[in-house]
Each structure stands twice: as structure tokens, then as C-alpha cells.
Amino acid sequence: MKMFEYMGKELFAKYGLPVPKGRMAKTPEEAAQIAAEIGGPCVVKSQVLSGKRGKAGGIKFPNTPEEAKKAAEEVLSMTIQGLPVECVLVEEKLKIDKELYMSITIDGSAKQAVMIASAYGGMDIEEQPEEYIIKKHIDPELGMHPFFARDVVRRMGIPLNGPHGKEIVKIVQTLYKICKEKDAELVEINPLVFSGDRVIAADSKVTIDEDAMFRMVDLPFVEDKSPAERAAKDLGLSFVELDGDIAVMANGAGITMGTLDTLQAFGGTPRNFLDCGGGTGREATAKALDILLNLQPKGLFINIFGGITRCDDVANAFKDVYEARGGFPVPVVIRLVGTNQDAGREILRSIGVEAFDFMQDAARRIIELVR
């Protein structure tokens, strides 16, 4: 789950990390009010989940409350990479002496969290050569300690006994504390800036592990799913909209991708990715079928290889939707094998549907039918 910059900065502030003076505004009037409180040159930043805000004109630098109002008016009417701007962050304009980079994320290959830092941060961090990027894994059994942070500071080439060095040692440790306490799979500050003697987080990017939502009660998030994707997520399913014409349901991420690959190899185009695996029951499966039919595809392809998913649950869900709708509006092909296969096929036969044994045969059939 992602956060807007201002949400991330509010989280940083709670942990004592230095952030610029300012706050979020939803109207030009609020923006002017905040600018007046700051009492000097400001920055008005669009709050969208996109990394290209500056280049899109979504960041402005007003000098007075009046200018801030105008800047906010403009930015609040913008759409950046397809995302409408619904709020802005108004904060003090920083004198920037130097831009650095700092983040902690998960390295799946190493099975550890990893600290990534660079003395050369800012917009072009991805183009920096490897030798300017410091990567240091965090041993989960050892945890975070001051010596770890001191080594990061040394490798960034920043004097440890200066005001900046001491502050960064604190920031490194705090970032890991946030990761662990808030189950953050990414905490990023880019840029972290030197402004006189101060070190300030001029931006924030925070992503919380979706699987840890059950123990996160007090955090705000941004909805970044389409309504259909959200409906599927609420059923515990994984769904992604694509732009083809055959709606697809399969059970398991791998086989769902394999199903899309097979359809595409045979000349079909998938309308979506829908993984209804993991023992999804009859009712949720029926609702998932409704989500797919509501996409108004040209055909529906169901590919189930039951393990923890039971074929009779899927067949019953299929029958429920069939009966509730008085049949299906588009051609449907179902391949159904695995756990409780015979019971599932018997249920399908009762409504005149014969299941396929093999994915490749079923995939060819649905493509023929939608042509």
C-alpha cells in the first residue's frame, strides 16, 4: 500500500526525522493560509503516486501567499500521468547545498532488507554509476546498530564528526525502525538535502507490505487500484486489468500467467489477470465471475487445476452465476481438473457444460469461439 509524499512525511515527523515546515492543502485558500504561516518562499507540490511530478509541471515555487494560492489553483486542476491531483503539499522552500539519496527496501535474493544510499541523490539517481551507490544488507538477527549507520556515512564520504554526519547516523537508524515497526517494504528519501547545517528529508516515498495490513491500524493509504481491482482485492483475489477481449480466471499466479501466455501464443488477447487460488470458496468465486462478466468481455476462459482449490466449489460457483443470470451472455470455456474433479464435472454436466482436460485444447477452443 502506497502513501502520498505528505503522508510519508507525517510518518517521518512522528519518528523525529527532519522534514520541511508545511502541510497538505486541498484548496487554494488553504494553500495561501499555509504559505502565510511559513512567511517566505514556498514550494507547492502535487500529491500523486508518480515520480515525474517536477517534469510534468506539478511542482511550483511561489514567493507570497497570493502566488501560493494561484500555484495551488493551477496544480489542483492538473492530471499527471493519468492521475488527477486532489491535494498539494505546501512547505518552506529549502536552500539546497547538496542532494543525497537514502532508502531501505527488501532484497528477495538475499532474503534481507537492504540499505541503499548515495551522496549523489536527486532526480537522476537511477543514472548514477554503480560505484556511487552504496548497498549494505541488514542482518535480521543482528538488527540495526549505530556502527552500521556510521559505516554508511563513511562510505558516502561525509565527515562523521560534522553536523551532517551525526544527523545521518540518526536518520539511517530511524529508517530501519520505521521499516520494522510499520512493515514498510520501501522507505525512500530522495533527495535528502543539506541545507546549511540542517539535513532534511525533502521528499518521501513509503510503501507498506499489503500482507501486514492486519497489524497496521493507524496508517493512511492511497487507493491505487481500479474499482474492479479493488472489488477483487476485497474478496482476497489478485486481479489486474489488461486490454484484450477474453476474460480469464485461473487458480494460482503462475498458472494464471501461463494461461495468459498460452492464449497470447495462440493468437488470443486476455482482458485481465485473475488469480482465484488459495482455497477461494464457492461464494467468492461466484463474485469473481461476476466481476469478470461485468468487464463485458467477448469470452470467458476458466482454467482450474485444483490443489487447495476444490473443483466442486468452482463448479458450484459457476452454476450459481449461470442460474442467477439465466445463462452466460458470452461463450465460456472451462477446463477443470484436480481435487474433487469428478464431483465438479458432475455439477457442470447438470447445466449442460462439459469441462476440458487440457489447457491447450481449452485455450484453442475459447479463441475459436470469440472469433
Partner 1 sequence: MAIIIDENTNVLVMGITGRQASFHTKQMLAYGTKIVAGCTPGKGGQEVEGIPVYNTVREACEKHRIDASVIFVPAAGTKDAALENLEAGIKVVVIVTEGVPVYDEIDIVAYAKRKGAYVLGPNTFGIVSGGKCKMGIPPNQYFVEGDVGVVARSGTLTYEIVGNLTANGLGQSTVVGMGGDRAVGLTFVDVLKMFEKDDQTKAVVMIGEIGGNNEEIAAEYIKEMTKPVVAFIAGKSAPPGKRMGHAGAIIERGKGTYQGKVEALTAAGAKVAPLPFEVPALIKEALGRK
Residue closer to partner 1 by CB (options 28, 297) is 297
Known catalytic residue at 101: yes
Residue closer to partner 1 by CB (options 30, 275) is 275
On whether 134 is known to bind a ligand per the annotation, the reply is: no
Can you read off the three cell numbers belonging to residue 348?
457442470
- 115-144: which residues touch partner 1 (CB under 8 A)? 126, 139-141
Q: Pattern 3-22, binding to partner 1, x per CB under 8 A?
A: --------------------
On whether 190 is known to bind a ligand per the annotation, the reply is: yes
- 161-180: which residues touch partner 1 (CB under 8 A)? 179-180
C-beta atoms surrounding 48 within 10 Å: 24
Angstrom distance (rounded) from CA 273 to CA 249: 7
C-beta atoms surrounding 39 within 10 Å: 11
* Residue 58 binds partner 1 (CB under 8 A): no
Residue 133 C-beta: closest distance to partner 1, Å: 13
On whether 174 is known to bind a ligand per the annotation, the reply is: no
Q: Pattern 267-286, binding to partner 1, x per CB under 8 A?
A: ---x--x-x-xxx-------
* Residue 2 binds partner 1 (CB under 8 A): no
Contacts of 154 (CB under 8 A, 6+ apart): 160
Angstrom distance (rounded) from CA 229 to CA 252: 17
Binder of partner 1 out of 50, 64, 195, 238 (CB under 8 A): 238
* Residue 186 binds partner 1 (CB under 8 A): no
Known catalytic residue at 223: no
314 with 281: CB under 8 angstroms?
Answer: no
On whether 45 is known to bind a ligand per the annotation, the reply is: yes
338 with 304: CB under 8 angstroms?
Answer: yes
* Position 154, amino acid: R
The answer to whether the bond into 191 is cis (omega within 30° of 0) is yes
Q: What is the DSSP string of 22-88?
A: EEEESSHHHHHHHHHHHTS-EEEEE--S-S-TTTTT-EE--SSHHHHHHHHHHHHT-EETTEE---E
Q: Where is the binding site for ATP, in residues?
A: 45, 91, 94, 99
User: Applying CB under 8 A, which residues contact partner 1?
Assistant: 106, 108-109, 111-113, 126, 139-141, 179-180, 183, 185, 209, 211-212, 214-215, 238, 240, 242, 250-258, 260-265, 270, 273, 275, 277-279, 305-309, 337-339, 358-360
Could you give the residue numbers annotated as active site?
Answer: 101, 188
